[in-house]
Amino acid sequence: MKKSLIGERDRRIVPRWRGFAASVDLTTGRRLVVPPPTGAVSDSFAQNQADWQEVPSLWNALDFIAGAIVEERMDLAVDAIEQVRKDSRLPTAGARLIDAAENRTSDIDLVSASTVEEESAKEIRKSRRRLAEHPWDAVEWMDLARSFTTLGLLAKASRCVGAAVKIAPTNRFIIRAASRFYVHSLEPERALWLLSRAGVMQDPWLMAPQVAISGIIGHGSAFARDGLKMLKQDFSASDLSELGAALGTLEVQNGKLVHAKKLLRQSLEGANENSVAQIEWLNRTRLGDVIDVSVANPPRLYEAGAWSSFVAGEWEESRRLAELWFRDQPFSGNAATVSSYILSEIAHDYPAALRILKTALRCNPNHPILVNNMAFAHIQSGHLQEAESLLGTLPDEGSPNIRTTARATRGLLEFRKGNLEDGRAIFLKVIEDFVAREERDQAGRAATQLALEELNSDTSFVTEAVQRSLKLTDGTKASNLIHKVQELEDAVERYVAKRKS
């Protein structure tokens, strides 16, 4: 297994958690329109229509309307819209969604100037007003839970999730969102119980997280065999995409690579951004780019796009997409890790990194990588006392890679405090440890940072430190390390010019 330089965690294809309107694609980068009737519709949408015509329930009607919005075929859903508008149980979020589509506008903007925290606080106030009038609105309860989760108010979020599940215990949107919440709040067993109760055997959208979350807690999914059978049933490719990616991941872990690749390629046929991101992660860390994901280009490809741009060294695009990923999933520790790394290490935009990390640590308290990244950004901003306090909160146990990275940040802090010998000794031990674990790129990164500090302090160890860095980074293919070495070379050039003047 390859290891990420920036602490990417083991990835599972757990459900995305978005607000109800966003979950049906209001933020694809285009305004919703109602075009004239043209062309065929997808199999998935046709099935939604057939389900509603057979059983014209409120939830079947909403699924059908959501599909009509995505397909831009509102003309086919006129009767369903008329039905749900007369239904007193219509969620207010559903009514807003229909209004937005019919008015050709969207009320969601991922790249607005306001911060994630400000947006969440506004949404909480709106949700509370709506729930005062419609207390049985399960969707609104779940949207409120998401806002509370983003602000780190997990106890309040949990009560909202419980209310939503009690009102709509079998609704796909509610159950998928609830399972994502329980994974975030470190209750994966509760997520599995909820999924199994909601009808996993009938719905691939529920089977996929059941398989994925079983992997998180180290259990072979009891439903994996049933999931493989479901892939051969009469579901659309888009309905099966996440399930195929989840089962493919399981097969990679079991060493069954031939079957895994077959499943992963199948999942690309109707891929959403979550399944594409999962396959790209497997390519990057396990498989070696053997699955061609270029055949899939679903909306909101923020995570996969941020990573592919990162690997290619396309820093502006990687930064843009990583920040969109974070705004789309602000409770995701991985999204915050990638975004804050690019902002700090590549762009040197430390205030922006600190803003993201402040929000991320509210909903991921004591996350060691985020704490380390925040300490690094504080050091680079000259906030040495804040960095000292943060590093003091990191536990001694945990991943050796994370512990060693945090020691490198401690070495940087000692240099900036003027304790050059202590800082140097820490860095040299960090480099030694990474080399011993055959983490050559990590060792090269630490050696390059040490060389930069020796240059900045104009010590007698400059030549030795630069030579060490160049030796350890020779031949690297890691784009972020190549970028850091370029920084060192530029610093050396300035250093030589200064000494000659």
| 15-64 per-position pLDDT tens digit | 999 887 666 543 233 322 223 334 556 677 788 888 888 888 888 888 88
Interaxial angle between packed helices 440-457 and 479-500, expressed in degrees from 0 to 180 and rounded to the nearest 10: 20
Amino acid 344: pLDDT? 96
Question: Using 50, 70 and 90 to split pLDDT, how confident is the model at 9?
Answer: low
Query: How many CA atoms, within 13 angstroms, populate the side-chain half-sphere of residue 244?
Result: 26
Which region among 22-31, 146-155, 176-185, 354-363 has the lowest average model confidence (pLDDT)?
22-31
Amino acid 316: pLDDT? 95
Question: Using 50, 70 and 90 to split pLDDT, how confident is the model at 172?
Answer: very high
The pLDDT tens digits for 223-278 are 888 999 999 999 999 999 999 999 999 999 889 999 999 999 999 998 999 999 99
Per domain, the residue ranges of the chain are 304-500
The pLDDT tens digits for 352-362 are 999 999 999 99
The pLDDT tens digits for 440-491 are 999 999 999 999 999 999 999 999 999 999 999 999 999 999 999 999 999 9
The pLDDT tens digits for 420-439 are 999 999 999 999 999 999 99
By the 10 Å C-beta count (0-12 exposed, 13-18 middle, 19+ buried), 463 is classed as: exposed
Range 301-308, long-range pairs (CB < 8 A, 24+ positions): 301/273, 301/276, 301/277, 302/273, 302/328, 303/273, 303/277, 303/334, 303/335, 304/273, 304/276, 304/277, 304/280, 306/338, 306/339, 307/277, 307/280, 307/281, 307/338, 308/280
Amino acid 32: pLDDT? 25
pTM: 0.81
Amino acid 159: pLDDT? 97
Question: Using 50, 70 and 90 to split pLDDT, how confident is the model at 215?
Answer: confident
Written as one letter, the residue type at 373 is: N
Question: What percent of the chain lies above the pLDDT cut of 70?
Answer: 90
Amino acid 8: pLDDT? 59
Spell out the CATH class of 304-500.
mainly alpha
Amino acid 50: pLDDT? 86
Best CA proximity match to 270, nearest among 247, 298, 251, 246: 298
Best CA proximity match to 306, nearest among 340, 355, 353: 340
Whether the predicted pLDDT of 97 surpasses 50? yes
Amino acid 104: pLDDT? 47
Amino acid 108: pLDDT? 36
**Alpha carbons 283 and 291: distance in angstroms, whole number:** 7
Q: Residue 373: how many CB atoms within 10 A of its CB?
A: 30
Considering only residues 1 and 128, tell me which one the structure prediction assigns the higher pLDDT. 128
Written as one letter, the residue type at 386 is: E
Amino acid 36: pLDDT? 36
Amino acid 283: pLDDT? 94
